[in-house]
């Protein structure tokens, strides 16, 4: 009887650990690499109760963004990436998105973001545009052929990456 009770307690402990998630390094998962023929330019990365969505902006997407927000960053001179962050447990307003974000292509050196343009910021839901200097999105697609957006240190996740193939 004591042995059966020990086994049941051990099974219960394992179940609780699995249900609650093991404590350790915060995890991050991202959508799989873009597959051949995949036209979606949206990438998602989740980790530590924060979901991040990054959208590579096309010319068609520009009209859906607040034009007043983009007035100092013409799309012909800047790479623009629309980013949304969602959580129910972390204050997202404290993160300096431009300081935490970089862009890298096949040939280009790593480029730091020039600005973060807040569309909305309620603390738990944040929406904005990351701005990178040097060329437009279409020029980047042609010259680089691919890109990796890296955002560091959001909600205890050391690095989140978003990749596109053009």
pLDDT score recorded for residue 79:
97
- CA-to-CA distance for 116 and 77, rounded, in angstroms? 16
The two tokens of residue 95 are 């993160």
Write out the chain's pLDDT in tens, 166 residues: 665 445 545 444 444 343 333 334 445 555 444 433 346 899 999 999 999 999 999 999 999 999 999 999 999 999 999 999 999 998 999 999 999 999 999 987 899 999 999 999 998 999 999 999 999 999 999 999 999 999 999 999 999 999 999 9
Other CB atoms within 10 Å distance of the CB of residue 156: 14
Q: How confident is the model at residue 34, as a pLDDT?
A: 41
Measured at the CA of 94, the angle between CA 153 and CA 58, to 5 degrees, comes to 70
CATH number at residue 122: 2.60.40.3340
**Which pLDDT value is given to residue 139?**
95
DSSP-based three-state secondary structure for 86: strand
What's the confidence (pLDDT) of residue 107?
A: 84
- Per the domain annotation, does 151 fall within a domain? yes
Look at residue 152 in the predicted model and tell me its pLDDT. 98
Domain limits for position 142: 26-165
Residue 118 lies in a domain: yes
Q: What is the pTM of this model?
A: 0.78
- Asked, for residue 1, whether it belongs to a domain, the answer is no
Q: How far is CA 9 from CA 5, 13, 26, 79, in A?
A: 6, 6, 28, 56
Cα–Cα distance for residue pair 123/106, rounded to 1 Å: 35
- In angstroms, the Cα distances linking 110 to 69, 105, 143 are 25, 8, 15
Is residue 130 included in any domain, yes or no?
yes
How many domains in the chain?
1
Considering the domain boundaries, does residue 8 fall inside one?
no
Asked whether residue 14 is assigned to any structural domain, the reply reads no
Answer yes or no: is 4 within a domain. Answer: no
Are 130 and 78 within 8 A, CB to CB? no
Flag whether 111 is in a domain. Answer: yes
User: 91, 89, 78: which is closest to 138 by C-alpha?
Assistant: 78
Q: What's the pLDDT score for residue 21?
A: 39
CB crowding 67-81: b at 16 or more within 10 Å, else e: eeebeebebeebbbb
């Amino acid at each position: 009887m004591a042995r059966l009770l020990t086994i049941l307690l051990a099974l219960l402990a394992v179940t609780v650990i699995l249900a609650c998630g093991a404590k350790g390094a915060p995890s991050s998962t991202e959508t799989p690499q873009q597959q051949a023929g995949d036209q979606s330019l949206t990438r998602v990365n989740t980790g530590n109760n924060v979901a991040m969505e990054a959208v590579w902006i096309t010319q068609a997407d520009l009209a859906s963004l607040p034009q007043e927000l983009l007035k100092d960053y013409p799309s012909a001179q800047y790479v623009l990436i629309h980013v949304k962050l969602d959580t129910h447990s972390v204050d997202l307003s404290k993160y300096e998105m431009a300081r935490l974000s970089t862009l890298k292509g096949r040939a280009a050196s790593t480029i730091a973001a020039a600005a973060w343009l807040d569309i909305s910021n309620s603390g738990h839901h944040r929406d904005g545009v990351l701005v990178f200097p040097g060329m437009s999105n279409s020029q980047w697609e042609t010259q680089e052929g691919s890109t990796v957006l890296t955002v560091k240190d959001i909600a205890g996740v050391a690095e989140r990456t978003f990749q596109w193939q053009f």
